[in-house]
Chains A and B, each alone.
Chain A
Amino acid sequence: MIEWLVSTNHKRIGILYMVTSLSFFALAGFLADVIRLQLSRPQLNLIGPHSFNQAFTLHGTAMIFLFIAPFGFGLANYLIPIHVGAPDMAFPRLNAFSYWLFLLGGLTVFSGALTAGGAASAGWTAYAPLSDVQVAAGSGQDLWIIGLAMTSISGILTAINFLVTPIVYRAPGMSMWRMPVFVWDMIATAIMVLMAFPSLTVVLFMLLLDRHAGAKFFVIQGGGDPILYQHLFWFFGHPEVYVMILPMFGVVTEVVGVFSRKPVFGYTGLVLSAFGIAGLSMGVWAHHMFTTGAVDDPFFSAMSFAIAVPTGIKFFNWIGTMWRGAISYETAMLFVIGFMLNFLIGGITGIYVASPPIDFHAEDSYFLISHFHYTLGGGSMFAIFAALYFWFPKIWGRKLDERMGRAHFVLMFLGFNLTFFPMLFLGFMGMPRRIYTYPALPGWGELNLLSSCGALLITLGTALFVWNLIVSSRKREALPDDPWGGGYTLEWATSSPPPEFNFDFLPPIRSKRPAFDLHYPQYAKDSPE
Chain B
Amino acid sequence: MTIALRMSVSIVAFGLAVAGLYWFFARDLTGTVLLGVFGLGFLCVFAYLVASRKKTRLDGDEQRLPSELAGERIGVFSIESPWPVLLALASASFLIGVVLHPMLGAFAFVALLAVLWGLARESR
Q: Residues of A with Cβ closer than 8 Å to B? A: 3, 5-9, 84, 87-88, 92-97, 99-101, 103-105, 108, 139, 142-143, 146, 149-150, 167-168, 170-177, 187, 191, 194-195, 199, 208, 212, 228, 231, 235, 275, 279, 282-283, 286, 295-296, 298-299, 303, 500-503, 505-510, 526
Contacts and interface: CB of A to CB of B under 8 A. Distances in A.
Interface string B56-89: 1011111101110111111111111111110111
A501 B31 contact: no
Contacts of A167: 4, 58
B41 A195 contact: yes
Nearest to B28: A296
A149 B94 CA distance: 13
Contact of B10 (A208, A275, A503): A275
Given A5-B85, A93-B84, A101-B92, A177 B3 contact: yes
Contact of B62 (A6, A8, A172, A507): A172
Contacts of A177: 3
B3 A176 contact: yes
Contacts of B26: 295-296, 299
Contacts, number: 167
Given A87-B74, A92-B78, A108-B92, A208 B99 contact: yes
A246 to B, nearest CB: 15
Q: Nearest 3 CB-CB pairs, A to B? A: A170-B60, A100-B88, A96-B84
B62 A231 contact: no
Given A88-B77, A299-B26, A172 B83 contact: no
Main secondary structure, interface of A, reads helix
Contact of A199 (B34, B63, B99): B34
B110 interface: no
B22 interface: yes
B67 A175 contact: no
Nearest to A199: B34
B60 to A, nearest CB: 3
B60 A176 contact: yes
Interface string B16-29: 00100110011010
Given A108-B96, A172-B59, A96 B85 contact: yes
Q: Max chain A CB contacts within 10 Å: which of B58, B60, B119? A: B60
A93 B30 CA distance: 36
B64 to A, nearest CB: 10
Given A8-B84, A142-B99, A172 B89 contact: no
B77 A87 contact: yes
Contacts of A194: 41
Interface of B: 2-4, 7, 10-11, 14-15, 18, 21-22, 25-26, 28, 30-31, 34-35, 38, 41, 56, 58-63, 65-67, 69-85, 87-89, 91-92, 95-96, 99-100, 119
Given A146-B96, A199-B34, A7 B79 contact: yes
17 contacts: A6-B84, A7-B79, A7-B80, A8-B78, A92-B77, A93-B78, A104-B88, A104-B89, A173-B69, A175-B60, A175-B61, A176-B61, A199-B34, A275-B10, A279-B14, A299-B25, A303-B18
A100 B88 CA distance: 6
A150 B30 CA distance: 26
Nearest to B123: A93
Contacts of B63: 175
A97 B88 contact: yes
Contacts of A5: 82, 85
A212 to B, nearest CB: 6
Contacts of B85: 5-6, 96-97, 100
Nearest to B79: A9
B55 to A, nearest CB: 11
B95 A501 contact: no
A231 B67 contact: no
Nearest to A510: B65
Nearest to A145: B99
Given A146-B96, A283-B35, A275 B74 contact: no
A173 B66 contact: yes
Nearest to A103: B88
A161 B79 CA distance: 16
A150 B60 CA distance: 34
A283 B18 contact: yes
A101 B34 contact: no
Given A101-B91, A104-B92, A146-B95, A510 B67 contact: yes
B109 to A, nearest CB: 15
Contacts of B2: 176
A174 B70 CA distance: 11
Given A97-B88, A173-B69, A509-B70, 19 more contacts: A6-B81, A87-B75, A93-B84, A100-B84, A167-B58, A170-B59, A172-B59, A172-B60, A172-B70, A175-B62, A176-B3, A231-B31, A279-B15, A296-B22, A299-B21, A506-B70, A507-B70, A508-B71, A510-B67
A150 B25 contact: no
A3 B72 CA distance: 28
